[in-house]
Structure 1
Amino acid sequence: MAPAASKPVFDDENDDEISVISQSVGPHAVISRGTKHTRADSAPVADGVSEVGSSVTANVKRRDQARIRRLNGIPERELAAAIGRIKASTCDAYTQFEDPVLDTRQDPPTHYHFKCKDCPFLVRRRIGASETTGLWNHVNKCAGRPKQMDLLDGFVTGSSVKMLEQEVQEFVALWLAENARPYLILTDQYFKKLAHPDGPPSASSATAPTQTLVLRRVASVQRRTPIHILRASLVISSKLDRLERQLIQYLLHRATRAESHARRHQSEVDELRAEVAFQKAYNEEILEWSAQLSYRVTQLEQQVREYEFLRSLPTPTFLTSPSSGQVQTVSSAEENSSAPSTQERR
């Protein structure tokens, strides 16, 4: 059956084209198309009439029944219920959008508006629908969203080799065993997202190791631990032996150098001691010479004093005649007068 004519619907505030609605009379999808975003409610909405118009569809899916019930209900009440379901949802797509509002350009309203938190773009979704394809498409293409580093760009060390499932299991087992982590951590929601971020729960559960599998890996690690310990002990002992030999060689080399330095310094010390002994003997000899010289000076000073004293004595009273050879004696009075002076001199 040919679809009805389509007309563009524009945003009244931003004058931007938001979506083009194509509606059909049959149970086909309601397609919402925007300038930067395209989404489709892939699941059909049953309207109770077959495509050929012959009879009412007997077997309607439960989800379709819920959609029809919500679409036929009071819009404000259905909006409040939808906001409650969004608050209880674990889907990360809703965190990038504000709470939905009714699109009142149609009477009665048939769509919600989800406004992006990073840009003024609006994503339309039919009342009663629960698909997040349109939300995810805009999140992946949003121009106003802050750019973040991808895991492959920021944390890959250069190797492009993919880890095997067994390696992941072994690493998780070592992580839980060595760091004393509880096995219940494997059931955390975000751990599963890290194990398989973009896949469905079935894929993440298949990729992420379970508690039972990790217990088996831990048991196998414990069984293999003594062998690894023995190998490690042998390697460590060999390394210790090599280090011990290197240390002994180093100590011998240092001891030899120290002994040579000690001998050289000992010879220098002996030379200094000999020089000190020579200086000591030389100083003693100088002191002896100084003592003799001072004694000689003392004698000379005494002789000088005696000589000066003799010079200070009066002239002798006896005279010798060079012609007759007779000696004139001094009178007794002069001898008596000169006697005391002689005694004083003595």
Structure 2
Amino acid sequence: MKNATLFQVIRWRKGEVLGIRRDWPGAVELEVSVEDGTRCRALAYPPLVGRPEPGDAVLLNTTALAMGLGTGGYAMVVAIPDRLPQDPVGPGHLVKARYTPLQATVQGADEQNSPHHELLRDADTLDGMPVVVADLHSALPPILCGLYASRPEIRVAYVMQDGGALPAWFSMSCARLREIGWLCGVVTAGQAFGGDVEAVTTHTALLAARHVLRADVTIIAQGPGNLGTGTRWGFSGVMAGEAINAAGVLGGRPVAALRISEGDQRDRHFGVSHHSLTAYGRVALSPAEVVVPALPGEFGDQVRYQAADLASRHILVEVPVGGLYEALRKSPVTLSTMGRNLDQDRAYFLAAAAAGRHTATLLA
């Protein structure tokens, strides 16, 4: 059998670092001169490639930039060829981003040489811990706003699934939320990496959030960079349904945050997104408490009507939204979803915050 024709799938460029724009834990944003004479922003992850400095030659992946994708504002630094970083030291046998040129070895909480292996080896329950499931990474800050408005003393962990960004370092929000103590830690599951705790599966990630990070509540969603194709099943948020199943089988208390929008004019996302209706209505087999925000007017009526389709499988909980807008305005990180801010898509953020508000009532 002849080999299939192979097509080039990466746009490679050489560049030179002109300056450092800003940095946050695990990431550095650069101003780079590209070999064709243009300039662009580039992003480097020092744990993978070392820390670039002005004057360094860098090898760039400009694919997303050229295609104008959601992460298209950046070229990605693949290597600093003239100044390679030192070899890694220390334990760790889990390989993530496996068999890609930038596969990385990390220590998983569940691997044999981990100090947490004995704790997790036979762990099989979340002890009723509430697990808030969301479609988009952008739901993380508003869920926390709703939680902390009612229960400022709790410990909250974030499990990042691998449907979007693989490096947790990409998220400035995560870095800031950890810094101020709104997250007690980030667990990266599957092929995602760079969290405070690494895990092989969503199941061990949830168990690590509970037993290693000692979280009272865990929020689970894919990393930044949702992938969608406009088809019924071809979107990365399908894994929200799988997260409901994992939380349920492990004895957690799944809470489903609806993806709702009045700013997105696409039929499949206006009101309750088909992502939520498919993930929770078709993929999730374990029952969850689906939070329906009590939004006013005809739009609120539409949301309740659409969400009713989920009642055959889940418990629908209508949650008042009074006071949540004020809590959202105090968010310690910028609120943004699909390029829209709080006032451009208020319903989206209120729905996520309502899920946080409801979850606060489940804690003893």
Classify the TM-score, shorter chain. under 0.3
Identify the structure with the greater strand proportion: 2
Identify the structure with the greater helix proportion: 1
- TM-score for the superposition, normalised by structure 2: 0.23
Q: Specify the structure having the higher radius of gyration (Cα).
A: 1
- TM-score for the superposition, normalised by structure 1: 0.24
If asked which structure has higher relative contact order (CA below 8 Å, sep 6+), I would say 2
